[in-house]
Amino acid sequence: MKELITALGLLFFLEGLFLAIFPSRIKSMLEIIKATPENKLRLFGIAFLIIGFLIIWYIKN
């Protein structure tokens, strides 16, 4: 449970850091995401999900 809370804290830290440093870039990226078809976003999401799982699996083993 401690690792999950640490991972969530790291996620919030990185999100906040990017929003604080690059607010205009984040807004333009959100416009690009808004214009991207849902199927393409879903494929990117699945790819990042698999990459994240493999990284965690590699670190744990």
Rg of the chain on CA atoms, in Å: 15
Q: How many CA atoms lie within 13 A of 32 on its CB side?
A: 7
Q: State pLDDT tens for residues 14-55.
A: 999 999 999 999 999 999 999 999 999 999 999 999 999 999
Cα(first)–Cα(last) distance of the chain, in Å?
18
Q: Which residues, at least 6 apart from 19, have a Cβ–Cβ distance to it below 8 Å?
A: 26
Domain ranges, residue 33:
2-60
- Please give the tally of structural domains in the chain: 1
Residue 1 banded pLDDT, cuts 50, 70, 90: confident
